[in-house]
Amino acid sequence: MNRPLARAADVYSLLLDRPDDFEGWREQARAMAAACVPPERVTWSLAAEGERDLFAQSSDEGMALPPARRAVRANAAFLRLAGSVILHRDPARFALLYRLLWRLQDDRQLMDKTSDPDLHRLGLMAGQVRRDIHKMRAFVRFRVAVEADGRDRYVAWFEPDHHIVRANADFFLNRFASQRWSILTPELCLHWDGGELLEAGGADPKDAPREDATEDLWQRYYASIFNPARLKVAMMVKEMPRRYWKNLPEARLIPDLIAGAQAREVAMVAQGSDPFSRAPPATLAEIAEGIVACRACPIGCNGTRAVAGEGPDDARLMIVGEQPGDSEEREGRPFVGPAGAVLDHHLNDVGIDRSRARVTNAVKHFKFEPRGKRRLHQSPTAGEIDHCRWWLDAERRLVRPNLVLALGASAGRALLGRTPSIAKERGTLTTLPDGSHLLLTAHPSYLLRLDGEARAKEEQRFRDDLAQLAPLVAGRF
């Protein structure tokens, strides 16, 4: 059991150098716990707060720490929790953490008892710190300022709820190492000159530039990626609280973007909630124009460029893929990326000339998940495929192909109205309601995900499926 010191009246007033001084707290808390000093005999204060305890001393000021009477243990879960809670603004955080450390010496399972009052309170504080760290990363907006030497410096103003600025420094260093930048806050400022990170005292919001030349570009980008189909105002305000808006150049656009989304919703309701309750397009050019403006599903609202089909308007063969990929969206053409190269290779092998086929996709916009600088493919949902089917049906009516090659389950759903099993249904020629003939096979991107023998086997199956079409495309049906 924990044992108090022999002199019960001893009270240790400990001093920390900074509000986020985790190492200082850890060193002194370990010394106190090792000497069996109970929590009620320890007080904590900060040198920077201006309300320093007159009797508080740091260990380097000559205070004689009590002798150690036992080894102190703290598991990784406690250290992670303490590292976050130290950054909280609550002045009771040091004492609460020490009390938990003290109790942990007698109860090794304490960190697993989530209903414990101390652990619960500290867990809430750690969660608030994590959210504040995320808010800083999400809502810092740099504006360019020209320094006396004529070089650009990117300056941002941010008002954190907790002492997270130092803890977030590496995030900005890793992402903006090649630029000179400053992050100003009311209590602490960071300045990066390209080689050294410097700290300074708090600043005033007037010290940050209000606008710069990139403002208009950023606002146009934000307006293009604003997704009205997924707009939930209460949730947006929860994730991007209004108090941050004054520092965000895009915030001035939000009221109009919300109003525009709501107006569109009213118009859809007036149409019976059917965005396609109008005459179908009469030409392929109308389809190309229409998909650019289409906002019937969330993918059409994600700011990417719509990719229309290409190829002869009377092609005997129509090839239908899933959706544009990263390369296709950038170039505005279907099947020009790695999957397109695989498709072209095997079409050539079986004697099918792609230039004589109509090549298109079931979904006309690129659905992706951002991952750093990359855009990772995300499969469209059944509902998103069904919405875009209206455009594919219109394209088929205009081109009137005799043969349709469906690459993958998404393309199969767009043509069949249900999601087919590629394993069970590939390679079999079926007749669609309009009299055209459908062949279902794997998407070439599937082959790219395989290696060695597995890839060789699947490439042969893919080539065999395409080989069935070669004589039919040539007219020998």
CATH number where 402 lies: 3.40.470.10
| Structural domain boundaries, residue 125 | 12-134
Tell me the two tokens of residue 221.
């980008």
- Compute CA 6 distance to the chain's CA centroid, rounded to the nearest angstrom: 56
Q: Is a pLDDT exceeding 50 seen at residue 54?
A: no
**81, 112, 134 — which closes off a domain?**
134
Tell me the two tokens of residue 64.
């004689």
DSSP 139-199: H---EEEE-TTS-EEEEEE---SSS-TGGGHHHHHHHSTTS-EEEE-SSEEEEE-SS-EEE
Helices 22-34 & 76-85 angle (0-180, nearest 10): 130
Q: Is a pLDDT exceeding 70 seen at residue 406?
A: yes
Q: Is a pLDDT exceeding 80 seen at residue 237?
A: no
CA distances 470 to 98, 247, 403, 473, Å, are 76, 61, 11, 5
In a domain, 352, yes or no: yes
Contacts of 51 (CB under 8 A, 6+ apart): 45
- Alpha-carbon distance of 38 to 191, in angstroms, equals 41
Q: Are residues 451 and 357 in the same domain?
A: yes
In a domain, 4, yes or no: no
What phi and psi values does residue 368 have, to the nearest 5 degrees? -150, 165
Quick one: what percent of the chain has pLDDT higher than 70? 80
State the average pLDDT over residues 296-312: 89
Span 4-51, pLDDT tens digits:
333 445 789 999 999 999 999 999 999 999 999 999 999 999 975 444
Q: Are residues 309 and 414 in the same domain?
A: yes
The model's confidence at residue 263, banded by pLDDT at 50, 70 and 90, is: low
Q: Are residues 167 and 22 in the same domain?
A: no
**Number of structural domains the chain divides into:** 4
One-letter amino acid of 160: P
Q: Is a pLDDT exceeding 70 seen at residue 371?
A: yes
Buried b vs exposed e over 328-363: b needs ≥16 C-beta within 10 Å?
bbbeebbbbbebbebbeebbeebebeeeebbbbbbb
- Alpha-carbon distance of 364 to 177, in angstroms, equals 37
Structural contact between residues 184 and 207, judged by C-beta atoms closer than 8 angstroms: yes
Q: Are residues 327 and 392 in the same domain?
A: yes
For residue 51, the model assigns a pLDDT of 41
For residue 28, the model assigns a pLDDT of 94
Q: Are residues 118 and 203 in the same domain?
A: no
- Alpha-carbon distance of 368 to 365, in angstroms, equals 10
Other Cβ atoms closer than 10 A to 309: 26
Q: Are residues 312 and 435 in the same domain?
A: yes
The model's confidence at residue 179, banded by pLDDT at 50, 70 and 90, is: confident
Q: Are residues 194 and 179 in the same domain?
A: yes
State the average pLDDT over residues 239-246: 68
DSSP 18-56: STT-HHHHHHHHHHHHHTT--GGGEEEEETTSS---TT-
Q: Is a pLDDT exceeding 50 seen at residue 56?
A: no
What distance separates the 2 farthest-apart alpha carbons in the chain?
104
Q: Is a pLDDT exceeding 90 seen at residue 277?
A: no
Other Cβ atoms closer than 10 A to 144: 16
Q: For the domain that residue 190 is a member of, what is the CATH number?
A: 3.30.1300
Tell me the two tokens of residue 60.
């380097």
Closest CA relative to residue 391, chosen from 262, 300, 256: 300
Helix (H, G, I), strand (E, B) or coil at 2: coil
Structural contact between residues 308 and 361, judged by C-beta atoms closer than 8 angstroms: no
In a domain, 2, yes or no: no
pTM value?
A: 0.49
The model's confidence at residue 477, banded by pLDDT at 50, 70 and 90, is: very low
For residue 178, the model assigns a pLDDT of 86
DSSP secondary structure code for residue 125 in this structure: H
Q: Are residues 324 and 405 in the same domain?
A: yes
In a domain, 278, yes or no: no
- Alpha-carbon distance of 349 to 342, in angstroms, equals 11
The model's confidence at residue 194, banded by pLDDT at 50, 70 and 90, is: confident
Q: Are residues 445 and 406 in the same domain?
A: yes
Closest CA relative to residue 136, chosen from 164, 114, 155, 110: 164
Q: Are residues 202 and 232 in the same domain?
A: no
Q: Is a pLDDT exceeding 90 seen at residue 457?
A: yes
Tokens 């022999």 — which residue?
A: 6
Structural contact between residues 104 and 73, judged by C-beta atoms closer than 8 angstroms: yes
Helix (H, G, I), strand (E, B) or coil at 88: coil
User: Which range (66-80, 257-271, 337-351, 370-384) has the least confidence?
Assistant: 257-271
Span 97-129, pLDDT tens digits:
999 999 999 999 999 998 999 999 999 999 999
Q: Are residues 109 and 257 in the same domain?
A: no
For residue 222, the model assigns a pLDDT of 53
DSSP secondary structure code for residue 65 in this structure: P
- Alpha-carbon distance of 159 to 165, in angstroms, equals 10
Helices 284-293 & 382-399 angle (0-180, nearest 10): 160
Tell me the two tokens of residue 476.
């020998």
